Chain A
């Protein structure tokens, strides 16, 4: 049984009539890089702020390393936060910014000095001690904010969209940097972001949040390969979702009838417990396009369609394929074999779409609400 650093038990937060966080249960393990991922207004930042002590939950319990901190103010909690836009103290030097927490806890002068310079080395900013926050770049401010929080050796580090203000290239670089630092210091990170790629790159586990609850919780791979709800399927990457009627099983697979009349297969384990109207999903890059007459692998799912649109994206080509019932499916094809425009599929060509049944996933069709209950519990 791993150590639990953060435990939320049935935590709810309402602002007036608005339910920001709706009965959340979460456990973050020691040393984990845990992300809360979701669109703005989904309650991820409120959840983080409750862990940090900046909001009090309307009901529920918050534990840090087994200690009930629900009603403790931020300065009595062994967590530190990297704020959105960094919130560096503009009137203090970088040294004093980083030393702030140590000073408040009454550390000695020489200890402060050695720990600040050690910390600035960790975030690769040695020699910046005497500068003011106005004299450094956004990326450097980000590192200072990180150093200012980590120097206190918190049980958990909370990060609230820390890379949001950086440009794309710097963001990519900082993602790797953050992961390196997290592994180096071994502190549990709880990371809030709306950027699915960011969450996937760094996290051990992700909770995908929507409307005050999380729809699914798991490692990046299982969230991507086996999204459990329409929301998760759409929020993490691109999904093709086709309405599907269950028609029993064959060869160990669950069989579904699509609206164009074709039968397709999906792993049986995914269908258990699901009732009502369902959709079958498949990721665009899992689909292969073949000539109508070509031989496809046995057991593979097969659909027929016509190329409607082709866009060359460099690393891959994106096709939009119209199915026989008019539904449109997106397909990504790596530009490995076909590299020139002449070799690609052209609009109007009839094609065969095939993918392995293993790559199918099933999500319930009914609007969130009823299905959320089930998936949220699965997450635990």
Chain B
């Protein structure tokens, strides 16, 4: 083997690639192709399916009939991605820069939920968000919230569930990126008069938090002016006190590759997720994943389910392409080299 590899060095890269390629061919390319064919079938499980190139009705049906679920998936996944980012960035930053000797322990705690099943964790959120659960129960007891106020079976619950479940996927890439930022660059920035970022940080914090709350409020028909004002106040305070100019000019731009990777790792699986909507939502919060799951496993409608999946793939590709264009991936990869 050794002499063979020595004599035919060109083999080595192919030999190393072979297991991955074979695996993907067998379990990804072939099923995807099969599904692509199936999306042009017509018929039913009982009568048998027939293939027809003229059959585009599966696609027109999916797009016309399930547009609300598609839109909802994008909104929920998008909101959850922004929320995971807002939670994960300070978390990753703190672990990387202030973690000290507890760094590894803290990182372990970030991934510790993975030791429990994804389903179990999502179901346990039902208990937390339940109408008289540990979160709402005491508040209602105090009379702060009306008796019929609920979180479970609302978009809030679904988005919270997604946010929680994908937090590690956002935290770890950001951690890796922030940890790589040379502390001497931060010192250099401070040496070059980068101090606290006021009032810029306050304004930026208020705009980001207020804007996000306003968008969510309008989408879900909540009393958005109050929400936006409250969020802007909190965001403004955080920005005013915590965001420095060296962070906004150096650390943050240099950690963008991690933000980019983390948001893709969160957004793409989240948009197809159906577990959170299934357990934490109601019929009006069904995402496209729920429809696909239902079509495939309950109704055995393979042609429409396949067409739904391919339409979803196309939607994700378009969203990611736009996102990559905005964030400029090429720029990001070159900044990685120091």
B187 at interface by CB-CB < 8 Å = yes
Output the least CB separation between B187 and chain A (Å). 6
Cα distance A104–B184 in the bound complex, in angstroms: 18
Contact indicator per residue, chain B 190-207, by CB within 8 Å of chain A (1) or not (0):
111111000000000000
Closest chain-A Cβ to B242's Cβ sits at a distance in Å of 16
B107 interface hit (Cβ, 8 Å): no
Cα distance, A154 to B194, chains bound together (Å)? 15
A152, CB-defined interface residue at 8 Å:
yes
Inter-chain contact A134/B194, CB cutoff 8 Å: no
Which of A80, A91, A100, A149 has the most B CB atoms < 10 Å from its CB? A91
Distance (Å) between the CB of B188 and the closest chain A CB?
Answer: 4
Q: Mark B275-304, 1 if CB is under 8 A from A, else 0.
A: 000000000000000000000000000000
Q: Residue-by-residue, is A335-346 near B (CB-CB < 8 Å gives 1, otherwise 0)? A: 000000000000
Q: Check if B188 sits within 8 Å of A134, measured CB to CB.
A: no
Report how far A81 CA is from B338 CA in the complex, Å.
20
Restricting to B142-196, which residues have a CB under 8 Å from any CB of A? Answer: 182, 184-185, 187-195
How far is B195's CA from A249's CA once the two chains are assembled, in angstroms?
A: 63
**B188 pairs with A89, CB closer than 8 A:** yes
> Measured between alpha carbons, how far is A81 from B187 in the docked complex, in Å?
9
- Contacts A90-B338, A104-B245, A132-B334 hold; do A73 and B182 have CB atoms under 8 A apart? no
Docked Cα-Cα span, A89 to B253, in Å, equals: 10
A90 to B249, CA, bound (A): 12
Instruction: Please give the distance in Å from B27's CB to the nearest CB on chain A.
Output: 39
Report yes or no: B337 in contact with A74, Cβ–Cβ below 8 A.
Answer: no
> Is A134 a contact partner of B337 (Cβ separation < 8 A)?
yes
A379 to B189, CA, bound (A): 35
How many positions in chain A have a CB within 8 Å of any CB in the partner chain? 27
Residue of A nearest to B181 (CB): A90
Contact flags (1/0) for A80-98 with B, using CB distance below 8 Å?
Answer: 1101110111110000000
Chain B: interface residue count, which band?
Answer: 20 to 34
CA distance A91 to B188 in the complex (A): 14
Q: Is A105 located at the chain interface by the 8 A CB criterion?
A: yes
Contacts of B338 in A (CB 8 A): 90, 134
The answer to whether A54 and B254 touch (CB under 8 A), given A90-B338, A148-B192, A152-B193, is no
For the complex formed, measure the closest distance between the CB of B159 and the CB atoms of chain A, giving whole angstroms: 32
On chain B, the residues within 8 Å of A91 by CB distance are 250, 253-254, 335
- Tell me the complex Cα distance, A52–B193, Å: 12
The answer on a CB contact under 8 Å between A81 and B188 is: yes
For residue A54, give the distance in angstroms from its CB to the closest CB of chain B: 6
Please state if B254 and A90 are interface contacts (CB–CB under 8 Å).
Answer: yes
- For residue A108, CB closer than 8 A to chain B, the reply is no
- Chain A min CB distance to B197 (Å): 10
**In the complex, chain A residues 69-84 whose Cβ is within 8 Å of any chain B Cβ:** 73-76, 79-81, 83-84
Cβ–Cβ contact A105 & B184, under 8 A? no
A101 within 8 A of B: yes
Q: Given the complex of chains A and B, what is the CA–CA distance between A83 and B250 in angstroms? A: 16
CB interface residues, B 106-125, toward A, < 8 Å: none
Interchain CB contact (< 8 A) of B193 among A75, A81, A132, A134: A75
B254 touches A75 (CB 8 A): no
- A85 and B184 contact, CB distance less than 8 A: yes
Q: Complex formed: what's the CA distance from A179 to B250 in Å?
A: 31
A181 to B92, CA, bound (A): 43
State how many angstroms separate the Cβ of A334 from the closest Cβ of chain B: 44
Contact call A101/B193, Cβ cutoff below 8 A? yes
Residues of A within 8 A of B194 (CB): 75, 100, 104
Question: Once the chains bind, are A90 and B337 in contact (CB under 8 Å)?
Answer: yes
Q: How far is the CA of A85 from the CA of B188 in the complex (A)?
A: 11
- A87 with B184: CB separation less than 8 A: yes
Q: Take A90-B254, A90-B337, A91-B335 as given contacts and tell me if A105 and B185 are in contact as well, using a CB distance cutoff of 8 Å.
A: no
In the complex, how many angstroms separate the beta carbon of A74 from the nearest chain B beta carbon? Answer: 4
Chain B residues with Cβ below 8 Å from A85 are: 184
**Which of chain B's residues have a CB closer than 8 A to the CB of A89?**
185, 188-189, 249-250
Q: How far does the Cβ of B119 sit from chain A's closest Cβ, in whole Å? A: 42
Residues 207-260 (chain B) with a chain A CB within 8 angstroms: 245, 249-250, 253-254
Given that A75-B193, A75-B195, A152-B193 are known contacts, is A87 also in contact with B337, CB under 8 Å in the complex? no
- Asked whether, in the complex, the Cβ of A83 is within 8 Å of the Cβ of B184, the reply is yes
Chain B hits for A101, CB < 8 A: 192-193
Q: List 14 A-B contacts (CB under 8 A).
A: A52-B191, A74-B187, A76-B195, A80-B191, A80-B192, A81-B191, A88-B188, A89-B189, A91-B254, A91-B335, A100-B192, A104-B193, A134-B338, A149-B191
The 7 closest A-B pairs by CB, nearest first: A101-B192, A104-B193, A75-B195, A87-B188, A91-B335, A87-B184, A74-B190
B-to-A contact residues, CB < 8 Å? 182, 184-185, 187-195, 245, 249-250, 253-254, 334-335, 337-338
Besides A53-B191, A132-B334, 18 more A-B contacts (Cβ < 8 Å) are A54-B187, A73-B190, A75-B190, A76-B195, A83-B187, A84-B184, A87-B184, A87-B188, A90-B337, A91-B253, A91-B254, A91-B335, A101-B192, A104-B194, A104-B245, A134-B337, A149-B191, A149-B192
